[in-house]
């Protein structure tokens, strides 16, 4: 148990990362007068990662799923925001190193999230862009839309087929949602806009190493998701792995603190935490938010000379959407699929978005897309303007095009992605 501070100084809590875990911890300490909270992030916004794939597939704009951190914490008198990239931590002096500054702390919460993995093959990055940041989503959007533009001008049939083939690696919720969104973009939103190619002939291939999609779901729900994807025209390949990956995070104690440093906590995707059965907890938003609330409660308890029992994750359910009017939802014994599940999925995601403006914007965008099948944010932006030199098919891919033409591989489930609770 940590010693109590003298009454003349508040306890300094530094939170690195303004994702779901970090923001939840900061906001949970809002009414605790004994703390000074500093939130450090290299971006000035909080990103709602569960909807990143909709930015990548031109369904939403980046501003719809991001909110300024300062605006979120503007009414929290005991919190301040530091825009900086953290380069190190001095555990002995209890200081965070951030762009030449030293931020002292009494308690440190590390909630920086995780990067996407390439299974030890960094050279895959060219053909398998990840999806963790806004820049990733806008790059993917540019790459997907440019594939259609280049295919419209391509005279070689094999290369055209390769350009119109997209492979999504990973059959978790994000992979299923991404595959369905690309299929709907090609077969609905772009259907009548090209004169040479037929966007409806686009191949979307979803590859999953396990025996079924959506492993956390009941097998019957997984099968419904597979059938819904097939109905959208997605080719689903099960039991086919690309390679192996070790995405382990930092090992922590039962109270989420670092071994040997009870004042340092590691949350969210950054940490490896097991459930009651010894299985690692998934890297989803409910886990991160519950961890953030737990640590805030633990810090408040320690201020009073008390402790709390070990962290236990309470699974409220999980859900995934498979395009327009299709989704699967599982909450305890409750199961739903189809239109009802899609309404539940939509409501949950709108509810957990931060900011009234974002909620209204998403509702309007989704309503427009639902009624017209159109995507309102199909802008090709980026450094080379409207062209991207490396969008072409390499010789090795061209040689394989006849068997399985692959233009883009999207490893969206290679690393965990946050997702809201239903």
Task: Tell me which residues are annotated as active site.
Answer: 177
How far apart CA 394 and CA 127 sit, in angstroms, is 10
Residue 143's φ and ψ, nearest 5 degrees, are -70, -40
Nearest to 293 by CA among 275, 279, 317, 314: 314
Do residues 395 and 401 touch, judged by C-beta distance below 8 A? no
Exposure string over 306-342, b if 16+ CB within 10 A, otherwise e: eeeeebebebebbbbbbbbebbbbbeeeebbbeeebb
For 196, how many CA atoms within 13 A lie in the half-sphere containing its CB? 13
Residue 64's φ and ψ, nearest 5 degrees, are -75, -25
List all residues 6 or more positions away from 317 whose beta carbon is below 8 Å from its beta carbon. Answer: 329, 330, 331, 332, 334, 421, 422
How far apart CA 290 and CA 310 sit, in angstroms, is 12
Instruction: Report how far Cα 180 is from the mean position of its chain's Cα atoms.
Output: 16
Instruction: Report how far Cα 56 is from the mean position of its chain's Cα atoms.
Output: 12
Residue 291 sits at the vertex; the CA angle it makes with 6 and 69, to the nearest 5 degrees, is 80
Could you write out the DSSP letters of every residue in 262-328? Answer: EEEEE-GGGEE-B-TTSPBPP-SHHHHHHHHHHHHHHHHHHHTT---PPP------EEEE-STT-EE
For 144, how many CA atoms within 13 A lie in the half-sphere containing its CB? 35
Instruction: Report how far Cα 52 is from the mean position of its chain's Cα atoms.
Output: 6
Nearest to 69 by CA among 50, 92, 39, 45: 45
Neighbour-count burial of 95, counting CB atoms closer than 10 A to its CB (0-12 exposed, 13-18 middle, 19+ buried): middle
Do residues 151 and 68 touch, judged by C-beta distance below 8 A? no
């Amino acid at each position: 148990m940590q010693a109590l501070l003298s009454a003349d100084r508040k306890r300094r809590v530094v939170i690195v990362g303004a994702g779901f875990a970090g923001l939840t911890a900061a906001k949970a300490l809002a009414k605790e007068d004994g703390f000074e909270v500093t939130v450090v992030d290299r971006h000035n916004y909080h990103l709602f990662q569960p909807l990143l794939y909709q930015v990548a597939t031109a369904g939403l704009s980046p501003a719809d799923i991001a909110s300024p951190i300062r605006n979120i914490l503007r009414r929290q008198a005991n919190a301040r925001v530091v825009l900086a990239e953290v380069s190190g931590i001095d555990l002995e002096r209890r200081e965070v190193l951030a762009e030449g500054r030293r931020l002292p702390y009494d308690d440190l919460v590390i909630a920086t999230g995780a990067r996407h993995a390439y299974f030890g093959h960094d050279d895959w990055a060219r053909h398998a862009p990840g999806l963790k940041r806004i820049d990733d989503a806008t790059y993917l959007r540019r790459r997907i839309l440019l594939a259609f533009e280049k295919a419209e001008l391509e005279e070689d049939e094999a290369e055209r087929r390769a350009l119109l083939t997209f492979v999504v690696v990973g059959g978790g919720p994000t992979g299923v949602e991404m595959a369905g969104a690309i299929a709907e973009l090609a077969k609905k939103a772009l259907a009548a806009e090209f004169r040479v190619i037929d966007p409806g002939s686009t191949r979307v291939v979803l590859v999953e190493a396990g025996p079924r999609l959506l492993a956390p779901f009941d097998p019957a729900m997984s099968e419904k998701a597979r059938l819904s994807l097939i109905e959208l025209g997605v080719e689903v390949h099960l039991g086919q792995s690309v390679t192996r990956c070790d995405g382990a995070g930092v090992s922590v104690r039962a109270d989420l603190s670092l071994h040997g440093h009870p004042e340092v906590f590691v949350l969210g995707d950054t940490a490896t935490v097991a459930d009651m059965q010894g299985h690692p907890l998934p890297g989803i938003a409910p886990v991160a938010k519950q961890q953030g609330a737990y640590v805030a409660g633990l810090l408040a308890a320690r201020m009073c000379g008390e402790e709390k029992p070990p962290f236990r994750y309470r699974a409220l359910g999980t859900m995934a959407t498979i395009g327009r009017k299709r989704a699967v939802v599982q909450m305890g014994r409750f199961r739903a699929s189809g239109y009802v599940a899609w309404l539940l999925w939509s409501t949950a995601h709108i509810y957990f978005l931060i900011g009234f403006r974002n909620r209204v914007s998403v509702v309007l965008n989704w309503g427009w897309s639902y009624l017209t099948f159109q995507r309102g944010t199909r802008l090709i932006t980026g450094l080379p303007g409207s062209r991207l030199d490396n969008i072409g098919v390499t010789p090795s891919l061209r040689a394989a095009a006849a068997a399985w033409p692959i233009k883009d591989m999207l490893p969206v489930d290679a690393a965990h992605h946050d997702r809201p609770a239903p």
